[in-house]
Structure 1
Amino acid sequence: MKPTSENEEEKRGNGYSIDFSSAWRNGRKLPLDERIKLFHVSLQNQEEADKHLYMRVIDSSTDRTVIAVDADGDKKEMLMFGSNNYLGLANHPHIKETVKKAIKKYGVGIAGPPLLNGYSSLMKELENRLSQLKGTEDTMIFTSGYNANLGLLYGLCTPHDLLLADEYNHASFFDGVKLLRGKCITFGHNNIGQLEDLLKTHKPDGDLFVAVEGVYSMDGDLSPLDQIIPLAQQYNAHTIIDDAHGTGVLGFNGEGIMEELRIKWTNEIIMGTFSKAFAVNGGFISGSREVIEFLRFMARTYMFSASLPPVTIAAVLAGIDVIENEPWRRVQLKKNVSFLTRKLKPFGITTPPQAGIISLNVPQDANIRKMANDFNREGIFLNAIEFPAVPADKQRFRISISANHTNDDLKKLVDTVELIWYKHNIVCND
């Protein structure tokens, strides 16, 4: 495989629906004022209804339903299938009560980084709880999962090292590679054969890393870590695992991808976020005590960022309580995923889902924006993933499922998909 090009990295991280290709001429960016003008021309050329597909206003708590602005600009209750609130923790009474107590005791902020005045007793407690959950020796907390990936790569890797990465890794990983100015070669998604060929043929001057995700965010499929970790160990490569969508969701105890595949932690470096199952913001890295202590002083996004506010840390701690004490949520989530997988299979599921995400493929000749507006009007809030965020032939609707969704919610979603597929003349599989 070729090293990842800058253009390919930019396409991976671009979640906008507007085609900005006209803003580049012969590979050179236009002046800022010209790029801004082109951007606003693109916005003006959109149909009025399309403007509600992104930055949609929500005027309620996030749960199985929300009050949101629809495609016609009206507020109404909608079924929420666009949030990564997999376990329904965003509006959980225990978490809200814990946050109230935290505000009363600790206030709303710290105003400093962890290495100075930002290392609170709550943060220390959360690091210990996360280490127990992930089965590792130590953990450190970042202000976002994005910053965790940037800090991890900048802190651990050098330009002499080589990163072998799944082509479907998150944009924050590839941005970390660019920040590092490191060497990165991508291999085909979950292609163990290509990965092994790369491990055999590349001997870097420095260290060798293999970077994958536990659950891939676009399709919801799992990484074959039970094959990747032994392979990486065979070639003395460090394994980096982004378990953002697996933490709290997978495994009997909610540990994540490692527990789901019955893999015991040895020395892997595990990244996760609080913006998925925990439904707040922030990120973390778990691993050996030596690696984590090293990163506390070498990860610039940790050293130069103010700590998460105590209320957010309290919410995550309370979320761990729920993960431990209400395992039925993971069971119900799996039941909901299983039901939708059966019912939506004829409509073009991109990959058999294994966590809380289902993606429905949209034919290239279909108008995904008109379909998205139809979902809005029918009271279904979900996310359209269109070019250039993905290739033109891989546009899809990404459905996020919650343990709080009822059978009636799921049936309403299925009926709406059937209605819209029929309206847009999309042929279903038998």
Structure 2
Amino acid sequence: MYNFSETLESLRAKDLYRKLNYLEAAQDPYTIIEGQKVLLLSSNNYLGLCNDERMKEAAIRTIQEYGVGSGGSRLTTGSYKLHQELEEKLAAFKETEKAIVFSTGYATNVGTISALADPDWVIFCDRLNHGSIIDGCRLSGAKLVVYKHCDVVDLEKKIKRYHNKGKGLIITDGVFSMDGDIAPLPEIVRLAKEHNLLTMVDDAHGTGILGKKGSGTVAHFNLQDQVDIQMGTLSKAFASEGGYIAGKQSMIDYIRHKAKSFIYSTAPAPHTIAISLQALEIIQKEPERRKSLLEKAQWFRGELNNNGFSVPMDNSPIIPLQVGDADLALQWSRKLFEEAIYVPAIRPPTVPQGTSRLRYSIMATHDYKDLKRAIEKTLQVGKDIRNNSEKKQ
């Protein structure tokens, strides 16, 4: 008999046990957790649309017209004209021929990669890619070759070593979810062209934020016509749910026939799709939101660095403050919560051993006054933890 309790105790001993934090209010700059009003610095609600009145009105209107559920998978009774409208508008937004919407971002990556690749393929994967990418690669049966994080020199060496001129794919996050850095897409695309490989970019954290029109990391580098597979989610800047793939029409049609997580999953509910459509309209019409977001994120990074911390200066709303040990990250997070600031401790296996961190994420709707207080409290908590540690020694 497997001893679950023993394993759980082992996780507690390593400070890797996880509990759920239940929110009692909307994901605004301030929310309520455990009955306490806290400054929310951990949400993927980058553009602040989760509680936008236009988004709520779109959901209410659609529920009144279509009801609350989709009633089946996309291939049976679950596809609505709203799904078709969103897919057409996402394809135009991403400057591709076609797009297909899945129920979640995880299902999008797992279903797409396992549908496209097979044991005859080799997939080159950044070491810090999202877990859904890794799972999709493994399910495909393809040879998985992991290259050093954002290291195009290592990628090129491994392409020369493992690519046998057969079918191959390079996959990378656009913006990495735990580090906030941006992939070197121009160099990756260059290598893919030189070695006849396809490219896939998971742009979950770049869509709605980067690029002249907010369409993401690919557009940020002006590579719209050179990246083969663009993946994105509707649950970050879009403040909705679901994921999608954008690319050539023939590839999208193939995915519709082959991706099991598309075929066997209940479709996103109509009101969820209406929310996504409303978000897309706001993103396109209100560029000042992402401008304000990135300015605040850069300011926050600069303040941390100016005060002795070391955080990467990539222009994204995700700001990792590495502290090393899981125990230290937990202490820091708990102390900040006592100061009415919620920043989660990110620990293995989400991040590599020894790189536990506080993951700050900025929203366009944050106020500089609140961000300044967060910096001050972060500095004070760090100082207190260090002093306590020195006293114990």
Same fold? TM cut 0.5: yes
Describe how 1:292-307 pairs up with structure 2 within 5 A: 292-307=252-267
So what's the TM-score if we normalise by structure 2?
A: 0.94
Q: Which residue of 1 aligns with 2:342?
A: 381
- Distance in 1 between residues matched to 2:88 and 2:265, nearest whole Å: 21
User: Does the Cα contact within 8 Å between 1:349 and 1:359 map onto a contact in 2?
Assistant: no
- Structure 1 stretches lacking a partner, 5+ long: 1-30, 70-74
Q: Are residues 1:38 and 2:6 paired?
A: yes
Contact 2:113 2:140 in 1 (8 A): yes
Decide whether aligned partners of structure 1 residues 388 and 329 sit closer, same or farther in structure 2, where only a CA change above 3 A counts. same
Structure 1 residues 44 and 145 mapped into 2: Cα distance closer, same or farther (>3 Å)?
closer
The question of 1:348 aligning with 2:328 is answered no
Corresponding residue of 1:320: 280
Letter in 1 for 2:379: E
Residue from 383, 387, 390 that aligns with 2:351: 390
Question: Matched residues, percent identical?
Answer: 32
Superposed, which structure 2 residues align to 1:71-90 within 5 Å? 75-90=35-50
Q: How does 1:8-157 map to 2 (within 5 A)?
A: 31-32=1-2, 34=3, 36-42=4-10, 54-69=19-34, 75-157=35-117
Alpha-carbon offset, residue 233 of structure 1: 1.1
Tell me the CA shift for residue 192 of structure 1. 0.8
* 1:187 aligned partner: 147
Preserved CA contact (<8 Å) 1:138 1:288: yes
State the partner residue of 1:7: none
Distance 1:365 1:222, change over 3 A: closer
* Alignment-derived partner of residue 161 in structure 2: 201
Q: CA–CA distance in 1 between the matches of 2:11 and 2:163?
A: 48
Pairing partner for 2:369 from 400, 405, 408 = 408
Please point out which of 336, 355, 358 is paired with 2:319.
358
The answer as to whether partners of 2:343 and 2:360 remain within 8 angstroms in 1 is yes
1:193-272 equivalences under 5 Å are 193-204=153-164, 206-266=166-226, 268-272=228-232
Equivalent residue, structure 2, for 1:371? 332
**Per the alignment, in what secondary structure is the counterpart of residue 367 of structure 1?**
helix
CA contact (8 A) 1:385 1:395 kept: yes
Distance 1:42 1:366 in 2: 14
Q: Give, as a single letter, the amino acid of the residue that structure 2 aligns with 1:188.
A: K
- Cα separation, partners in 2 of 1:365 and 1:91, compared to 1, 3 Å: closer
- Contact 1:219-1:350 within 8 A present in 2 as well: no
CA distance in 2, matches of 1:337, 1:397: 15
Deviation at 1:295, TM superposition (A): 0.5
Shift of 1:393: 2.4
Query: 1 CA distance for matches of 2:226 and 2:201?
Result: 13
Q: How many residues align?
A: 387
For residue 267 of structure 1, report the CA deviation from its aligned partner: 5.1
Partner of 1:169: 129
Deviation at residue 280 of structure 1 after TM alignment: 2.2
Structure 2 stretches of 5 or more lacking a match?
Answer: 388-393
- Going from structure 1 to structure 2, the CA distance change for 1:267 and 1:246 (only over 3 Å counts) comes to closer
Kept in 2, the 8 Å contact 1:81–1:399? The answer is: yes
Distance 1:155 1:201, change over 3 A: same
Q: Could you tell me how far 1:261 is from its partner in structure 2? A: 1.4
Cα deviation digits, residues 308-351 of structure 1 (max 9, x gap) = 00011011000001101111100100110111011111343342
Could you state the TM-score of these two structures normalised by the residue count of structure 1? 0.86
- Looking at structure 2, the residues matched to 118 and 366 of structure 1 have their Cα atoms a distance apart, in angstroms, of 46
For 1:40 and 1:160, how far apart are their aligned partners in 2?
39
State the 1:374 CA deviation: 0.2
One-letter code of the match for 1:244? A
Quote the Cα distance in structure 1 between the aligned partners of 2:199 and 2:308.
Answer: 36
CA RMSD of aligned residues (A): 2.0
